[in-house]
Amino acid sequence: MVKKNIDWGSLNFSYTKTDSRYVSQWREGVWDDGKMVEDANVTINESAGVLQYAQTCFEGLKAYTTEDGRVVTFRPELNAKRMYDTAQRLLMPPFDEGRFIEALDMLVKANLAYVPPYGSGATLYIRPYLFGSGPVIGVAPSPEYTFRMFCTPVGPYFKGGIKPLKLVVSEYDRAAPHGTGHIKAGLNYAMSLYAGYEAKSKGFAENLFLDAATRTNVEETGGANFIFITADNKVVTPKSPTILPSITRRSLMYVAKHYLNLETEERDIPLTEVSSFKEGGLCGTAAVISPIGSITTKDGVIAMPSGMDSMGPVTKQLYDTLTGIQMGRIEAPEGWIHEIA
């Protein structure tokens, strides 16, 4: 198969239209059979639930070309499950988890020419999404839904690749206690835009959000979870019911323990503890692991001892092991790699 003529190495995290996408519609209580379509545009009623009351959710995963030339995805059944849970919380008909994987296979097979080659530094980002497409006018769940999945080749999420990032502790909250922080609702991201705009206009790459109830514990950024390395080399990550259960973070904690023999802890992480850590990183599908250089708080700047030039050594080991598993250089735990082509 001939690849598209794309300068893979200079891609950033932006949208490139690919050839085809998957679509399925829910009407009168059932999902239709679904199909691949070429039209990248969506036509819906002016009063669709997604347009009026933001009834929408999404997922994000990637396809990789492995060292031996296969095309694979990483733990996609966890994305299917998270989307199922998200849909239930937003009163949307969940899309069957098995059908999610079938749609993924169809999508990637139809767009193989856009899967970046091994070693190019780029990957194929896959965006499943589900939204209320039928008309509502009172505040109510939509009478019809659309599930779609498209893909786009992408490079690094942050400019400069994996250079340490400057973060700032946000004065805004991302997610309320007992709210929707633990699901991938579009509204969580709309709410974070203003905070993100303010942080970026002051020269920061991202916000660090604290827990909304006490404003003392580290939660996550607008699009990634956190991991930190303690002075005695433990890998720690915040435990909170209001952060998104990141598949990357869950995988990294496993890799730390079972591949690198490091102790791991998922627990409350007070902001006051962060200055004692050696290294830190943002982790997620888009972010992979992006190292933290500094965190600006209202009481001053926490400079991570790993510095502003490169990833700390433990973060680097985690990064190399995770990406090694994803690209087929390191043997994966049973069931982690889903081969498509």
Residues 274-293 that bind ligand COI (CB under 6 A): 284-286
Q: What character string, x for contact with ligand PLP (CB under 6 A) and - otherwise, covers 52-71?
A: --------x-----------
Measured from the CB atom, the residue of 115 and 185 that comes closer to ligand PLP is: 185
Residue 306's binding partner out of ligand COI, ligand PLP, none, with CB under 5 to 8 Å set by partner kind: none
Measured from the CB atom, the residue of 166 and 249 that comes closer to ligand PLP is: 249
Q: What letters, b where the CB count within 10 A reaches 16 and e where it falls short, cover 37-64?
A: eeeeeeebeeebbbbbbbbbbbbbbbbb
The one-letter code for the residue type at 323 is T
CA–CA dist 7, 9 (Å, integer) = 6
- Within 10 A of 329 (CB to CB), how many other CB atoms are there? 14
Question: Closest by alpha carbon to 223, among 239, 235, 205, 238?
Answer: 205
Catalytic residues: 184
CA–CA dist 281, 61 (Å, integer) = 19
Residue 18's binding partner out of ligand COI, ligand PLP, none, with CB under 5 to 8 Å set by partner kind: none
**CA angle, residues 168, 171, 172, in degrees to nearest 5:** 110
Q: Which of 60, 245, 307, 324 binds ligand COI (CB under 6 A)?
A: 60
Instruction: Look up tokens 């340490």; give the residue.
Output: 164
Measured from the CB atom, the residue of 179 and 284 that comes closer to ligand COI is: 284
The answer to the question of residue 123 lying near ligand PLP (CB under 6 A) is no
Per CB under 6 A, which region of 242-250, 271-279, 319-327, 333-341 contacts ligand PLP?
A: 242-250
Residues 284-313 that bind ligand PLP (CB under 6 A): 284-285
CA–CA dist 208, 296 (Å, integer) = 9
The nearest distance, CB 18 to ligand COI, in angstroms, is 17
The nearest distance, CB 46 to ligand COI, in angstroms, is 28
Question: Closest by alpha carbon to 308, among 288, 284, 291, 289?
Answer: 291
Q: Which residues contribute to the site for ligand PLP (CB under 6 A)?
A: 60, 220, 223-225, 244, 246-249, 284-285
Q: Which residues contribute to the site for ligand COI (CB under 6 A)?
A: 60, 223, 284-286
